[in-house]
Amino acid sequence: MTFKTPLVLSVYIITFLIGLPSNLLALYTFSVKIHRKPTPVDILLLNLSISDLLLLIFLPFKMMEAAADMKWPLPFFLCSLVVFVYFNSIYSSSLFLTAISVERYLGVANPIQYKINRKCKHAVMACAFIWIFCSLHCSFTYFIVQLVPNNMSDSLKCYADFTDDQLMYLLPYRLEVCLLLFCIPFIITIFCYVNFIRILITMPKISRKKTQKAIGLVAVTLSNFILCFAPYNISHIVGFIEKGSLPWRIYALLLSTLNACLDPLLFYYSSTAIQQTLKKCITSTSKRLNLTSRSWFCGQEKQNSTDVTDDSD
């Protein structure tokens, strides 16, 4: 077992334990809010949480792979499915983050016109386009996985070893995905949020709390792009130049996996509903802990009083 095996497994486990409950909480909150009073940004945030949950649901398969010393221990047809869902979730998340930045920018740049033209059906259409667009692009990974030679071997690595013929198609594909699903969305996001903050700062009646909330939203989003998505997509560019699949891609992909842990912070800064739901969960949990501790202490006091009575007898 090499150094990367426990590292990869540890990151997967941490991501799963933190990301799953927080994204389930976000899914529940946005579902309730959309049912009561839907808004475009809530629809986008709901789909972002669904994208993260898809990655988290299939993450145990990646854990099993890491535990098997990075070799695929399951039936090979699952490799194709896991790879497709894994990358589809990563790139759809980047596009949903971009769509949210555009929605936020338009809301402050043209507030009156935005309120008049703001319709939930536009957000639904945007989400449908993102899912279809990413699925079509990531379906190429299924094609590549099926062409891996000796794919029925138990010792085969899933989406790791490629022939020269496969790399001839795979490397240009990765470069195209990098430019289309990362670079362009990243540039759009930077443009939207730079102007978003600039406009908020110039507003005379904007509260300090709203400004801090907006800065937190921008910081989390840009951190997602820079820390989680950028290293893996840079590996596509370097791999295309060096004409090979780089060995450090596995570590860059780990950072992309951590995106499922950072998105809940974006939910917190984006929605007051999430903040209220989180406060309710914390309050109810603390009350339960207090009740449990009180009942325990009462039980201890009764036990002590019983012991004293027995001794006096």
* CATH number of the domain bearing residue 13: 1.20.1070.10
* pLDDT at residue 153, rounded to an integer: 45
Average pLDDT over residues 34-48: 90
For residue 152, the model assigns a pLDDT of: 42
Using only the alpha carbons of the chain, give its radius of gyration.
Answer: 24
Give 159 or 190, the one with higher predicted confidence: 190
Q: How confident is the model at residue 118 (pLDDT cuts 50, 70, 90)?
A: confident
Q: 85 with 145: CB under 8 angstroms?
A: no
Higher pLDDT, 312 or 8: 8
Dist. CA 224–CA 71, nearest whole Å = 29
What confidence category does residue 305 fall into, taking pLDDT thresholds of 50, 70 and 90? Answer: low
Amino acid 298: pLDDT: 59
Binned at pLDDT 50, 70 and 90, residue 151 comes out as very low
Residues 176-232: tens digit of each pLDDT? 999 999 999 999 999 999 998 888 888 777 777 777 788 888 888 999 999 999 999
State the average pLDDT for the chain: 83
Q: What is the pLDDT of residue 263?
A: 87
- pLDDT given at position 3: 55
Q: pLDDT for 50-59, tens place per residue?
A: 999 999 999 9
Question: Stretch 298-312: mean pLDDT, rounded?
Answer: 54
Domain presence at residue 131: yes
Contacts for 253 with CB less than 8 Å, ≥ 6 apart: 232
Integer angstrom CA distances of residue 93 from 67, 238, 306: 27, 23, 61
Coil, helix or strand at residue 159: coil
Kindly state whether residue 13 falls inside one of the protein's structural domains. Answer: yes
Q: Average of pLDDT values for 57-72?
A: 89
- Residue 302 within a domain: no
Residues 9/63, Cβ–Cβ less than 8 Å:
yes
| Residue 44 pLDDT greater than 90, yes or no | yes
- Can you read off the two tokens belonging to residue 171? 């490397």
Q: How many Cα atoms within 13 Å fall on the side-chain side of residue 282?
A: 7
Q: Is 257 inside any structural domain?
A: yes
Decide if 31 is inside a domain: yes
Show the tokens assigned to 303.
């036990």
Assess if residue 134 is contained within a domain. Answer: yes
pLDDT on residue 155 = 46
Query: pLDDT tens across 245-296, in order?
Result: 888 888 898 999 999 988 888 887 777 777 777 677 777 666 666 666 556 5
Q: For residue 76, is pLDDT > 70?
A: yes
Confidence of residue 154 (pLDDT cuts 50, 70, 90): very low
Residue 305 belongs to some domain of the structure:
no
Q: Is 83 among the domain residues?
A: yes
Rounded distance, CA 90 to CA 53, Å? 11
DSSP calls for 9-72: HHHHHHHHHHHHHHHHHHHHHHHHHHHHS--HHHHHHHHHHHHHHHHHHHHHHHHHHHHTTSS-
Distances in Å between the Cα of 121 and the Cα atoms of 22, 37, 44, 171, 226 are 27, 14, 11, 37, 31
**Which residue range is the domain that position 217 belongs to?**
4-290
User: Is residue 169 scored above 80 in pLDDT?
Assistant: yes
What's the pTM? 0.85
Q: What total number of domains does the chain contain?
A: 1
The secondary structure of residue 76, as a DSSP letter, is H
- Counting every residue, how long is the chain? 313
pLDDT of residue 51: 95
